[in-house]
Amino acid sequence: MRAACAFNAQLMDYIRPYVKAGITTQEIDRLVHEYTIKHGHKPATLGYQGFPKSCCTSVNDVICHGIPDNYLLKSGDIVNIDLTTIVNGWHGDQSETFLIGTVSDTARDVTQCALDCLYAAIDALTPGCPISAMGDAIVAIADQRGFSVVREYVGHGLGRRFHQEPSIPHYPTRQSRQERLYPGVCFTVEPMINVGKRYTALDKQDGWTVRTRDGELSAQFEHTLLMTEDGPEILTQTQHGPAKGHRF
């Protein structure tokens, strides 16, 4: 898992300089695919339950699972790049939201909130803690800043399978208060934060793209974590991406 996640972080740093105005999301996907294959690994999303591309690119009001296409990124956009790689049968998974050119204060604020929610969730973790510790931390920050937390899409266990137990909701639930995170488990934390209401809408034509129902912006950051006897270890930490305390 450490090797898979280290490569996935390396891939994120590789694609980082290309994510700017004037590139299509399809071109980002091509670069991700070629870099992954060149290094002898597999893009996990390609063909997964019929998904047609090697990464997800979610622009502006797209919450998650955006399909790369001929959309040309422009100044003012925000775009989440979600990468998952299979390395020797194990999965590494993470995402970042990028600010393209000069963005609105609202776009910057919701992106900052998503990053802060991610690290607040990680900071709340201790060996054997309830899963809800993360949801409590995320909701507290989002509520304070006037944003909402998506409920229909959650983090998940990760290993030889892309999605496995435990489920990691980004808000507290009865089940997440009962389930605990013991040393040895790997999982993703990926809070999706909306400017407007938390409600989502699935694109009926492509069956994948999830948008905010009210058309407002959404931002997300994701890491894969390993719970150890000493606390959480971030497996997908990049060299050049936004770390804890980063300000946009």
> Mind listing the pLDDT tens digit of every residue in the chain (248 residues)?
999 999 999 999 999 999 999 999 999 999 999 999 999 999 999 999 999 999 999 999 999 999 999 999 999 999 999 999 999 999 999 999 999 999 999 999 999 999 999 999 999 999 999 999 999 999 999 999 999 999 999 999 999 999 999 999 999 999 999 999 999 999 999 999 999 999 999 999 999 999 999 999 999 999 999 999 999 999 999 999 999 999 99
How far lies 113's CA from each of 67, 119, 144, in Å?
24, 10, 10
Cis preceding linkage at 232, omega within 30: no
Q: What pLDDT is recorded for position 40?
A: 98
How far lies 82's CA from each of 3, 16, 56, 66, in Å?
18, 12, 5, 9
Q: Are 95 and 81 in contact (CB under 8 A)?
A: yes
Letter string b/e over residues 86-95, b meaning 16 or more CB atoms within 10 A of that residue's CB: bbeebbbbbb
User: In terms of DSSP bridges, do strands 42-43 and 180-181 run parallel, antiparallel, or are they unpaired?
Assistant: unpaired
Which helix (H) or strand (E) covers residue 182, if one does?
none
Letter string b/e over residues 55-77, b meaning 16 or more CB atoms within 10 A of that residue's CB: bbbbbbbbbbbbbbeebebeeeb
Q: What pLDDT is recorded for position 131?
A: 98
For 96, counting Cβ atoms within 10 Å of its Cβ (0-12 exposed, 13-18 middle, 19+ buried), the class is buried
State phi, psi for 167 to the nearest 5 degrees: -80, 140
Q: What pLDDT is recorded for position 28?
A: 98
State phi, psi for 113 to the nearest 5 degrees: -60, -45
Q: What pLDDT is recorded for position 52?
A: 98
Please give the model's pTM, rounded to 2 decimal places: 0.98
Q: Please give the domain boundaries of the chain with CATH numbers for all domains.
A: 2-234 (3.90.230.10)
| 129/6 Cα distance (integer angstroms) | 26
Indicate the SS3 state at residue 222.
strand
Amino acid identity, position 51: F
